Amino acid sequence: MDPVVEVAGGRVRGAQRDGVLAFFGIPYARSPEGSLRWRPPQPVEPWSGVRDATEFGPIAPQPPPVPGMAIPGDPDVQDEDCLNLNVWTPALDAKRRPVMVWIHGGGFTSGSGSGIIYRGGRLSGENDVVVVTINYRIGALGFLAHPALALDGGPGTTGGLIDTAGTLAGATGNWGLMDQVAALCWVRDHILDFGGDPSNVTIFGESAGGMSISALLGVPAARGLFHKAIIESGPFYTHSLERAVKTATELAGELGIKSIDRSSLENVPVQELVDVVKEIQDRLPAMGELPLPFLPVVDRVFIPRPIRDQFVSGEVPTVPIMIGTTRDELSLFAAGDPQLNGLDDEGLVERVRYVAPGIDPLRAVDSYRAIRTSRGEPVSPRDLWVAMGTDHIFRSPSLKMASMHRNNCPSVYVYLFTWESPVFGGMLGSCHALEIPFVFGCIDHPAVRAFSGSGPDAEALSMNIQRAWSAFARNGDPSHEGIGQWAPWDPEKRVTGVLGRETSIVEAPRNEELEVWEDLRSWA
């Protein structure tokens, strides 16, 4: 008999898939369209009978995938009615398993929680955890900020699905983060009936998903809804309210809206919003530090202060954190940057000057060239740009974040993923997002293995990563027999779990590059 569970709105029927019970497309909030655009998520509308939960729900409106980046079989039906989630569980019993809630990436303008590389069946079944993946509003629908959209304290502003100590009056721009909080409220209220423990919830995500988690650590409304966090390639990047309003003004101008008000924006067809966001994003400089038109917004209400400031002052909750990056994050983006094909030393220096103003770019380039030469690693301008951009944009701020949190919480763990993708003759190296199929155990999927690689070494790595992630979710420590004793992060020893063809716990791997940035910034 197919499993049936009672949730907010009514009953849902799942199915057994690959040895676990799976429930897809469960709505956790009402459709945020019409007058609910740019409002906090509201309770679901009840349904009668038993709702089929064996097919994935619609994904958030977004542009088509970049050619060559889509995975055949990923859901592609889009709708503003996208606030749904998926659950994989070993059993509907009273065992109270650790719960792992995945927040997808995609630069805050694309992606979904139902992609093939995010299917949670193997992670759930082989590690005895409950896995939840969610959809949330993205692009302009998820992160558009402007005074005209600021909540006024009326209906739809307070209460609802988001538990706050007071009002959200004045909040703007973090609609997608509000969705994430609402999904976590759903987990708190219902996951016990899916065999999970609502008092042991770990949020994990990559890229924009990791940045979302970094932001949620600074969101008062999210306090108590999660108890651990795994941040993959997602340090605390946000937009100021002023920067976000500038983007909103540019978007309105592209739409022909001269005077911005809520009603005029609510009446814009959703496809027009998606198209304009893509146009704005395409105009951003390819060599920019983080060419994303939308990020979580420090609106001074929902996110009351910059996340970095909250880490420094110890305002963020003292939950255990595991954080890390891949070794060659930027190689994935470099593959789509035609300007890199003819990059010379002069152009490299200018790029470094642009993304890291205030330091000596020539000294930085010379230092990286010397370090990589000593290791026998390639030192073409393109290779140096990938290495420097990876460390400056992803790795260095992630480790800084780890050190800040370590001042307030002893349970902080750091990893570095070094496995290399075989695709394109190996030119991607250990690129952005490569660890994801290893986390979810889907490297044997026909549409994934060309990117991830396969074979006994890959399977062993995937098993070790799954066991580390689930051990951390279970007890706040990623140590296990396959990887050894993983010591917490210390800014001096810098103990790191290196996850690659050989998995080991080492002190200060690839530390020379980090010291370059630390040295340059100390006297800049």
Kindly list the catalytic residues. Answer: 207, 329, 432
Gap between the Cα atoms of 58 and 44, Å rounded? 15
| Token pair in block for residue 247 | 């983007």
Gap between the Cα atoms of 211 and 393, Å rounded? 12
Among 411, 430, 410, 432, residue whose Cα is nearest residue 420: 430
List 10's β-bridge partners, or say none: 7
Gap between the Cα atoms of 438 and 430, Å rounded? 12
- Distance of alpha carbon 151 from its chain centroid, rounded? 26
DSSP states along 57-76: -PBPP-PPPPTTT--TT---
Q: Are 108 and 139 in contact (CB under 8 A)?
A: yes
CA distances from 220 to 128, 162, 255, 299, 372 (A): 31, 10, 34, 13, 43
Q: Are 500 and 417 in contact (CB under 8 A)?
A: yes
CA distances from 457 to 92, 252, 421, 464, 466 (A): 34, 51, 13, 11, 14
Residues near 342 by Cβ (< 8 Å), separated by ≥ 6?
Answer: none
The DSSP letter of residue 93 is: S
The residue type found at 175 is W
Gap between the Cα atoms of 135 and 175, Å rounded? 12
Gap between the Cα atoms of 461 and 500, Å rounded? 7
Cα three-residue angle 439-441-443, rounded to 5 degrees = 110
